[in-house]
Amino acid sequence: MLFIKTIALKKIILVIFLCCFIDYLSAQDPHFSQFYASPMYLNPALTGTTLEGRFTFNYRTQFPRLPGEFVTTQVGYEHYISKIKSGIGLSVVTDKAGSAGFRATSVMASYAYNLYLNKESALRGGMQIGIGQRSLDNFKLLFGDQITALGANNSASAELGLPNFTLNYVDVNAGFAYYTSDFWIGISGHHLNQPNLNFIAEKPEKLPMRISVQAGLSFKKYEAKKDKREEPTRAFTPMIYYSRQGIYQQLDLGANLYRYPMLFGVFYRAIPIVNNYYGAIVTQTGFTYNTFTFLYSFDIGVGQFARNTGGAHEISVLFRTSQSKQIKRKYRRKGSNYVVFPSMLGNVW
């Protein structure tokens, strides 16, 4: 009888741990310090903001000094279809967190429509729908019967009746953006359907909606090229990002400086508008060559746990596919209703 009670107590403790652990992990979405370099992830309305097709790759590793660091990856492709004034795209985001093998994966299809208000401004509306999956690796969980006076042993746990550690769900996002050639502001809502993310069926736990607002200005200096086209060779682009998800809020503020072919940027991540356990000063550098852009940034931790985390490293790669000069001239000549979306990096991308 005592043995049965002991097993029951251990199961109760496990359930409590899982509830708290999963609630913590599902409370906030991963966030890139270079939020402007992953437009589809930032706001569905920003799908296909270039005339060319665009590949994006983002990689972030956070808290490398801690066991089970947080690693987030985003891969996407988007394209603007001029005949229907629409952008379409597909993105895959994976997030690994902690030493228990937690993994979140989402595959999202994006669509955005461009409404030209006049020759100087436009409005975009976008939507994403896709499938997400969250899982834990059972073999990386450690239970009480696997711990001895000498530490953890390699024997299997005798625990029975553990919950299923894989969960699939449908996810829906939407957003809007208003822009001119020098200014943009957007609002987006993620997880509008608030899917259940708790592995324990008896205790459903909805994923809170994430509402975010993004805005930026672009001050550019143009110079004529050999083919008489004018392109920006210098630019200063201040930007702001605010999001709220459940009880969590985040405010990022900073600017990018572009001087062909180099890119530099400084941001403050998670300005303490509320109690934040982790803020960071983000320093960025990179370069652009024709249709290729590379960025690297490092988060210098600021806050209560900054010294022990190791900050964060982030890499972004963007590549635009070429398009015929005739199409580009059609939309960029004087009198055209097409409004070029301002670059969030300073250069034309």
Consecutive 10-residue averages of pLDDT for the chain (349 residues): 42 42 60 94 95 93 77 96 93 84 92 94 97 78 59 57 75 97 96 86 82 94 62 87 92 93 93 72 92 94 71 94 67 67 70
Domain definitions of the chain by residue range: 2-332
Position 176 scores a pLDDT of 98
Sign of CA dihedral 180, 37, 269, 103: positive
| HEC string for 322-334 | CCCHHHHHHHHCC
The pTM for the full model equals: 0.82
Position 347 scores a pLDDT of 57
Please list the alpha-helical segments (H only) found in the chain.
Answer: 2-26, 39-42, 306-309, 325-332
Position 19 scores a pLDDT of 44
Position 236 scores a pLDDT of 93
Which run of H or E residues covers position 88?
strand 86-97
- The yes or no reply on domain 2-332 and CATH 2.40.160.40 is yes
Position 15 scores a pLDDT of 41
Residue the block writes with tokens 């940027």? 265
User: Taking a C-beta distance cutoff of 8 angstroms, is the pair 112, 129 a contact?
Assistant: no
**Which segments within 270-329 are labelled E, that is strand?**
279-289, 292-302, 312-320
Q: How far, in Å, are 164, 285, 314 from residue 266 at the CA level?
A: 43, 9, 14
Position 301 scores a pLDDT of 86
Helix (H, G, I), strand (E, B) or coil at 54: strand
Position 323 scores a pLDDT of 66
End-to-end distance of the chain based on CA atoms, in angstroms?
A: 69
Q: What are phi and psi of 82, to 5 degrees?
A: -65, -35
Position 20 scores a pLDDT of 46
Helix (H, G, I), strand (E, B) or coil at 249: strand
Closest CA to 179 of 57, 49, 83, 267: 49
Q: Which residues pair with 223 in a beta bridge?
A: 231
Query: Which residues lie below 8 Å from residue 37, measured CB to CB, with a gap of 6+?
Result: 56, 58, 295, 316, 318, 344, 345
Distance CA 216, CA 11 (A): 51
